Every structure is written in C-alpha cells, then in structure tokens.
Amino acid sequence: MRLSVLVPVFNEETTIEDVVARLQAISLSMEIIAIDDASIDGSAAVLERLLAAGRIHVLERHPVNRGKGAAIRTGIARATGDVIVIQDSDLEYDPADLPPLLKPIMDGRADAVYGSRFQGGPHRVLYFWHSVGNGLLTLLSNMLTNVNLTDMETCYKLVRADLMKRLPLTADRFGFEVEITARLAQAGARIWELPISYSGRTYAEGKKITWRDGVAAFFHILRYNLFPPAGAWRKR
C-alpha cells in the first residue's frame, strides 16, 4: 500500500529538509508531494534542491498565498497513492507515528485514521488555552457529526485516496480540518483514532495558528455540518 504524503509549505526554510529526512527514514512505500504556498523566505530554493535530488517526488507552487486548505487540495489532485496524509512542514508531528496509523486502513478496518495528541502519547507541554480551545471545538464538532473524536484539529488524518478525492472540499485555510471531519462523517466513513507524539512550537519558534483561527473554526463547524453539499459523493 502506497502513501501519498502532502506537505504544504509556507515560510519553513529552516525545517522542511528535516521533515523530508524524517519521512524518508520510515519504512513505508510513499510519494512526497510538496506544495509551496507562495513562501517569501528561502523555502522555494530548499524545495527545488530536494526535488533535484529526488528526495521529493512532486513540487507544486502557488503564485499567491492561498492557505493550507488550498495547498492540500492541490496536493490531493496530484496524489497517486492508495492513502493520503498531510504532513505539516514544521517539526511538530513525527513521521515515525505514520506506520501504526496506516495499519487499520491496511487491514481493511478503517477508511480514515486520526492521530490524536490527547490519547496519552508523549508531548511537549505548552499552551493551556490552546488545549481548552481545541477541546471545545472538538466537542462541538462531535455533537454535530456524532463522531466521538478526541482531537478533531490534528494534522495527522490518513484517508483512503479514493475517498479523499471525492470529498467536496472547499476550505482554503485552517478550516480544512473542520471540513474534512464533517465530510468524512457525512460520507459514513469508518474512522479510527490512535495516539501520537506531539512537539508543539511556540510563537517565537514559528507557530502560525492564532485565537482568530479558533474563532473562525467555530463558524466553520456550523457551516460545514449544517449545510453539506448534495451529491453522490456520500455513497461509499
């Protein structure tokens, strides 16, 4: 089973090469698809070098910054693997967690697997209010999807490629996490959740998400769950 790893990049010149190295260190058949979302630092040059060296397989570029969700949709369109996962281009998520996350899909038990930062895996201790906000957003999402997740906002969501490609995803920015959860629930996907490690960044270290994104996520949860698009995409 081949894994398509989508790596959205925006101003991560100091970490992207380490992320690719960590991906290459795990024993999985994979393609690495990097999407440069109009970075203004040296990320583009690093990605060009990695592509020339064959360390990433596909490099896409957005001429203007469109957001994480838009970058992921660009990557989904290029993916050729059996399962798709998003890998943030910072060092918060450890690719060593991917093999156990993939197993329920390989075994035919799951259509999607979420890596939860709140199920007891090792993690860096950081912002209290971030965890409270994440918990409230996950609770609201669970109430509307009737899916009992512990970490709706996790980056690590592994999804069967055939299912991912037919989901009607439209979110351009951080609303992607909310939207894909709503769409998977609406599609009747079998979702598993397993613990992962997490090494969160501080804002001084480059963390981008803010309280404004949390407020926006609240409205995204209502929008994507209460007003789903019609169509045959719901059929499995």
**pLDDT at position 23 over 80:** yes
Per-residue CA distances from 146 to 112, 138, 143, 161 (Å): 16, 11, 5, 23
pLDDT at 122: 62
Query: 80-114: per-residue pLDDT in tens?
Result: 999 999 999 988 999 999 999 999 999 999 999 99
Residue for token pair 């925006």 = 10
Residue of 158, 182, 159 lying closest to 169 (CA atoms): 182
Which residues form the domain of 92? 3-234
pTM value is 0.90
3-state secondary structure of 166: coil
State the pLDDT confidence band at 133, using cuts at 50, 70 and 90: confident
**pLDDT at position 204 over 80:** no
Q: Which residues, 6 or more positions from 213, have their beta carbon under 8 angstroms from its beta carbon?
A: 173, 174
Structural contact between residues 172 and 213, judged by C-beta atoms closer than 8 angstroms: no
pLDDT at 68: 94
- Where are any strands of DSSP class E within the chain? 3-9, 30-36, 58-61, 83-86, 112-116, 157-160, 191-195
CATH number at residue 123: 3.90.550.10
Q: How far apart are CA 4 and CA 76, in angstroms?
A: 9
pLDDT at 176: 94
Q: Which residues, 6 or more positions from 4, have their beta carbon under 8 angstroms from its beta carbon?
A: 30, 31, 33, 75, 79, 80, 81, 83, 84, 85, 161
pLDDT at 171: 94
pLDDT at 145: 97
**pLDDT at position 216 over 90:** no
Residue for token pair 């398509």 = 4
pLDDT more than 70, % of the chain: 90
Give the chain's domain count.
1
Q: How far apart are CA 188 and CA 197, in angstroms?
A: 28
pLDDT at 231: 81
